[in-house]
Amino acid sequence: MSPKRTLVLASTSPFRRALLEKLGIPFETLSPEVDESRHPDESPQALVTRLSEAKARAGAPAYPDALIIGSDQVAVCHDEILGKPGSHEKATRQLAQLSGQRVDFLTGLCLFDSANGHLRVDLVDYAVTFRKLTPAQIERYLRAEQPYNCAGSFKSEALGISLFEAMHGDDPNALIGLPLIRLVTWLNEAGINIP
């Protein structure tokens, strides 16, 4: 299956790339040069939709006749955006904080047609409820997976699934950072037939 137009993923995330590869269509990737700083008083929802659009638009100079996918995600618990822990100690604290809590993963998705400027932007929410975690469970998990570059200190596509009590949402791919159900609808409407 070959799209009539060039399809571009404006992301260097190996997780988003692997998700898009599941669709079996050719695509290229680019590293969008976008300032990801949060604006003062900007809601998490506004942040991810703004950044997904900015990432998609950032690819237009290099790809003036393409369909460009932009995506951005934040994890939110009690109105606080969870960052990437970066270290074992911070991940331990973060998972202890998330024990028994619901975390919402807000993913902004954008499909930008650089040839005509047509833009589609949406927000997809997917949530998880963490089990009550003991310090020993947290330690074993972190030693096994070392998810220090993942917001929320876990990888749901791997052993991190064992930390959850429940998952809530329409598209589990959104949890990993690219809502494929919404994206496939948009791509089909843009003339890229999947399947």
User: Residue 74: inside a domain, yes or no?
Assistant: yes
User: Residue 87: inside a domain, yes or no?
Assistant: yes
Q: How far apart are CA 69 and CA 183, in angstroms?
A: 9
Catalytic hit among 72, 79, 113, 122: 72
Structure tokens at 94: 């973060």
Outline where the chain has alpha helix (H). Answer: 14-21, 44-58, 88-98, 135-145, 173-176, 180-189
User: What mean pLDDT is reported for the chain?
Assistant: 95
Q: How confident is the model at residue 4 (pLDDT cuts 50, 70, 90)?
A: confident
Q: How confident is the model at residue 2 (pLDDT cuts 50, 70, 90)?
A: very low
State pTM to two decimals.
0.92
User: Residue 1: inside a domain, yes or no?
Assistant: no
How much of the chain exceeds pLDDT 70, in percent? 98
Structure tokens at 184: 């496939």
Q: Domain of residue 140: give its range.
A: 6-189
Q: How far apart are CA 84 and CA 102, in angstroms?
A: 17
Q: pLDDT tens for residues 44-96?
A: 999 999 999 999 999 999 999 999 999 999 999 998 999 889 999 999 999 99
User: Residue 43: inside a domain, yes or no?
Assistant: yes
**One-character DSSP codes across 154-182:** --TTTGGGGGEEEEESS-THHHHT--HHH
How much of the chain exceeds pLDDT 90, in percent? 91
User: Residue 194: inside a domain, yes or no?
Assistant: no
* CATH number of the domain within which 66 lies: 3.90.950.10
Q: Is 72 a catalytic residue?
A: yes
Q: How confident is the model at residue 1 (pLDDT cuts 50, 70, 90)?
A: very low
Please count the structural domains in the chain.
Answer: 1
Q: pLDDT tens for residues 175-188?
A: 999 999 999 999 99
